[in-house]
Chains A and B, each alone.
Chain A
């Protein structure tokens, strides 16, 4: 029997898509510039069916790509032409909310926000909150080690997942992690989280839940310069305060937000900081005053404190809708995700502005200022032939972040998008060592191939020659 017939038999005709028109839906993720039509899409209804599908793939050497909601921004769920896509959309059951043990067990297709909704009756919530949380799935979050505005204080997906049931590349089902984090042996769960779907398919996730903080205070502070806003963040950290979130928006981003939602942001400010503190009321009150003081010391021009939950919601709606909002001021855009050591924020923003000027392309910035994770939005018009120029600028920005001692990606992943830039950040031996892990999980390389690691097919025969890491040049780190 052909593999496609075997898959159809294993999953039932209703759960298999081969019709080209319907396959189109699965051609790309949030990085819409990359499109590949898969040979087939399967929609298993259980972990057992996922395993059955993977076993067929393993037997026939068919590559497979897991897919959650397809909101990924690095082409992680980009299909392989001669392979299949395994959609987890039918696995969307909240299996259990366990308030006593402060955890929930969910299937991978459950959306991030639905976990918090299920936990809400118990006064609990799931902390990582990517802006896409209404749509993106926990399976995708695990694969990408997704963050969110609140990860400065609370950490990323990896800090909030206790166990994952995983279908390995040979179709066997195993569990990584367990009832507690106290387990002997290598932390396979930790290594799996953030592996971008290349080490196996998650079929069930146990997440930690936190008690909702007793108090939350949110403000927007306007600044006349980006550097002033950056210095204020440094001041907040130096004062020993760990805000729940510190987000920055520049003027172009604010204009975009203003054009599309009920904006609470000052339209003509050069930069705005959103600072949120949460925790016990007395601690929050004291530090909230201190933060306002620090902002004033650094020349902030106006502070708007959210008076109630509705104003807080508006602040966050504006911030979280910023990517989408940019769509209203530009026909097309790329989102970058580089990270710089926080102390170099002002410098990197200055250089991005200069590079954007040189390229004649606008770049809006909305980002996680507390941890130095930028999201430059490179605005362009496909119709006006700006695509290649914008893409080049976008790649240059990510590589600039590495040059400044940072990373290509803070939360969106490498995927297909930045694989060719990996040699800028890692040496051959680093990548080869990572591949040993990949080989241990997936010796035949069937699980989401062509992602994360540069390949000649993807990057040309000479995938970006290794250049010394800037910290290496500065003598801070050595490579042998």
Chain B
């Protein structure tokens, strides 16, 4: 589709104009393009590139808020906030734009405590398919006036409208942080993680990544040291203090490489061990290398498949869908699309999803096919 027209607005006004000018064209909304493979393959006549909308609108450290254009790279946002010893409480594996993060609902291990961007976005300005500019939420961290449209756009994958501006709540950076690493299987990790939580040690992240439990503690330097010591005592002799880059293993696994398949899915927390067993069993049965990372208490899992045929990857993903239909394929190995539908069984509220899509984009101009066959 390299011949497709590209619109590259830099301001809200230009974005609105782009939607007017492109009337009748099917659009692919794009950030940096790092997550374009998620779900179905949309058809489009033109690309709406949001990366020129990358400015800081306002940074309000005393109010704990920041407002940016949606095309701002997430890394740039965090750098800006770091100057004020603040951050948006989110640690995705690799990040493109802020808008892309909202649209993919992506998150990293601190989802254990802070959830995903849905829990940090306090206001949005969006432009709809018919060029309507709409705002919801605002600039204050507590606000219930009107519907919260930002929530709808969380996970919308470019199918509902274009995020133009995003206002986020920020948090102070912790004075100290430390990570405990414990090599163990998923069942042990779930049990130990539970004891850290019930023991009120308040880990900010608990991740079981490919055979290692990582638990991160944030706080004052004295407090973190004390909790790390107590956590180590709970965990037994295999536990070690992990270097700060221990978490890059999680990021690498989630990102995958060319030729890999990467999927994410959610389950109840206590299904984590079963899921890990299922992944290992199915991977072995189909001669595929599988690796998995989980935020067990958020019930969020990512599975990476490597090696083996597309048909084998399809068989493993199909087995996962039997356990949990709501599997998102984020990276597709060559030939997998021919073997596997983009989505599994639709969620119970699919009729409402369809109705919302119809209400916001009646002509299905934006990201057409992304959620096919659901809508």
A187 adjacent to B165 (CB under 8 Å): no
Min Cβ gap B78→A in Å is: 16
Report which of A101, A102, A180, A372 forms a contact with B142, defined as CB distance below 8 A: A372
B57 adjacent to A477 (CB under 8 Å): yes
Report which of A191, A241, A431 forms a contact with B172, defined as CB distance below 8 A: A241
- A340 interface residue, CB < 8 Å from B? yes
- Choose, from A45-53, A151-159, A217-225, A355-363, the stretch at the interface: A151-159
Q: Knowing A175-B348, A180-B267 are in contact, say whether A279-B300 is a contact too (CB < 8 A).
A: no
B151 adjacent to A187 (CB under 8 Å): yes
Report which of A101, A280, A405, A436 forms a contact with B269, defined as CB distance below 8 A: A101
For the complex, give the distance between the alpha carbons of A279 and B119 in Å. 21
Report A124-178 residues with CB < 8 Å from chain B CB: 144-145, 147, 151, 155-156, 158-159, 168, 172, 174-176, 178
Report which of B144, B197, B265 forms a contact with A410, defined as CB distance below 8 A: B144
For the complex, give the distance between the alpha carbons of A287 and B116 in Å. 27
- B136 interface residue, CB < 8 Å from A? yes
Report A431-480 residues with CB < 8 Å from chain B CB: 431-434, 436-441, 452, 471, 476-480
- Choose, from B26-34, B217-225, B232-240, the stretch at the interface: B217-225
- A396 interface residue, CB < 8 Å from B? no
A440 adjacent to B63 (CB under 8 Å): no
For the complex, give the distance between the alpha carbons of A240 and B173 in Å. 7
B266 adjacent to A180 (CB under 8 Å): yes
A237 adjacent to B62 (CB under 8 Å): yes
For the complex, give the distance between the alpha carbons of A380 and B286 in Å. 75
- B12 interface residue, CB < 8 Å from A? yes
B298 adjacent to A180 (CB under 8 Å): yes
B223 adjacent to A184 (CB under 8 Å): no
Q: Knowing A102-B269, A339-B142 are in contact, say whether A283-B223 is a contact too (CB < 8 A).
A: yes
Complex contacts, B12 vs chain A, CB 8 Å: 478, 480
- B293 interface residue, CB < 8 Å from A? no
- A286 interface residue, CB < 8 Å from B? yes
- Choose, from B125-133, B208-216, B311-319, the stretch at the interface: B125-133
For the complex, give the distance between the alpha carbons of A433 and B124 in Å. 13
Complex contacts, B132 vs chain A, CB 8 Å: 429, 432-433
- Choose, from A206-214, A268-276, A293-301, A324-332, the stretch at the interface: A206-214
Name the CB-closest residue of A to B105: A187
B172 adjacent to A242 (CB under 8 Å): yes
- A408 interface residue, CB < 8 Å from B? yes
1/0 contact trace for B144-160 toward A, CB 8 Å? Answer: 11111101111110001
Report B10-35 residues with CB < 8 Å from chain A CB: 11-13, 16
B136 adjacent to A434 (CB under 8 Å): yes
B133 adjacent to A182 (CB under 8 Å): no
A190 adjacent to B298 (CB under 8 Å): no
Complex contacts, A183 vs chain B, CB 8 Å: 155, 266, 326, 347
1/0 contact trace for A407-439 toward B, CB 8 Å? Answer: 111111110001000100111011111101111
For the complex, give the distance between the alpha carbons of A172 and B349 in Å. 10
Min Cβ gap A318→B in Å is: 22
Counting contact residues on chain A (CB < 8 A from B), the size range is 35 or more
Complex contacts, B154 vs chain A, CB 8 Å: 186-187, 190
- Choose, from B90-98, B245-253, B355-363, the stretch at the interface: B355-363
A213 adjacent to B270 (CB under 8 Å): no
A180 adjacent to B299 (CB under 8 Å): yes
A174 adjacent to B197 (CB under 8 Å): no
- A63 interface residue, CB < 8 Å from B? no
A184 adjacent to B343 (CB under 8 Å): yes
Name the CB-closest residue of B to A144: B144
B145 adjacent to A422 (CB under 8 Å): yes
- B369 interface residue, CB < 8 Å from A? no
Name the CB-closest residue of B to A479: B133
- B138 interface residue, CB < 8 Å from A? yes
Report which of A181, A405, A408, A431 forms a contact with B298, defined as CB distance below 8 A: A181
For the complex, give the distance between the alpha carbons of A185 and B267 in Å. 16
A282 adjacent to B142 (CB under 8 Å): no
Complex contacts, B143 vs chain A, CB 8 Å: 339, 406-407, 409-410
Report which of B64, B140, B151, B171 forms a contact with A190, defined as CB distance below 8 A: B151
Complex contacts, A431 vs chain B, CB 8 Å: 146
A425 adjacent to B223 (CB under 8 Å): no
Complex contacts, A189 vs chain B, CB 8 Å: 151
Interface centre among B142, B202, B265, B347, by most chain A C-beta atoms within 10 angstroms, is B142
Counting contact residues on chain B (CB < 8 A from A), the size range is 35 or more
Name the CB-closest residue of A to B156: A186
- B175 interface residue, CB < 8 Å from A? yes
Min Cβ gap A184→B in Å is: 5
1/0 contact trace for A89-112 toward B, CB 8 Å? Answer: 000000000011110000000000
A429 adjacent to B347 (CB under 8 Å): no
Q: Knowing A174-B351, A187-B154 are in contact, say whether A425-B138 is a contact too (CB < 8 A).
A: yes
Q: Knowing A282-B226, A407-B140 are in contact, say whether A341-B155 is a contact too (CB < 8 A).
A: no
Q: Knowing A184-B343, A436-B360 are in contact, say whether A368-B60 is a contact too (CB < 8 A).
A: no
Report which of A123, A147, A282, A437 forms a contact with B198, defined as CB distance below 8 A: A123
For the complex, give the distance between the alpha carbons of A422 and B138 in Å. 13
B144 adjacent to A286 (CB under 8 Å): no
Complex contacts, B125 vs chain A, CB 8 Å: 477
Report B63-121 residues with CB < 8 Å from chain A CB: 63-65, 67, 85, 105, 111, 115-116, 118-119
Q: Knowing A410-B142, A429-B133 are in contact, say whether A186-B353 is a contact too (CB < 8 A).
A: yes
For the complex, give the distance between the alpha carbons of A476 and B356 in Å. 30
A433 adjacent to B128 (CB under 8 Å): yes
- B58 interface residue, CB < 8 Å from A? yes
1/0 contact trace for A245-260 toward B, CB 8 Å? Answer: 0000000000000000
For the complex, give the distance between the alpha carbons of A480 and B85 in Å. 34
Min Cβ gap B112→A in Å is: 11
Name the CB-closest residue of B to A173: B348
For the complex, give the distance between the alpha carbons of A436 and B172 in Å. 37
Name the CB-closest residue of A to B147: A434
Name the CB-closest residue of B to A198: B147
Complex contacts, A176 vs chain B, CB 8 Å: 349, 352
- 3 closest A-B pairs by CB: A180-B299, A182-B266, A190-B151
A residues apposed to B, CB below 8 Å: 99-102, 123, 144-145, 147, 151, 155-156, 158-159, 168, 172, 174-176, 178-191, 193-195, 211-214, 234, 237-238, 240-242, 279-284, 286-287, 339-343, 368, 371-373, 405-414, 418, 422, 425-427, 429-434, 436-441, 452, 471, 476-480
7 contacts between A and B (CB under 8 A): A99-B198, A158-B151, A182-B300, A191-B151, A191-B152, A214-B202, A433-B149
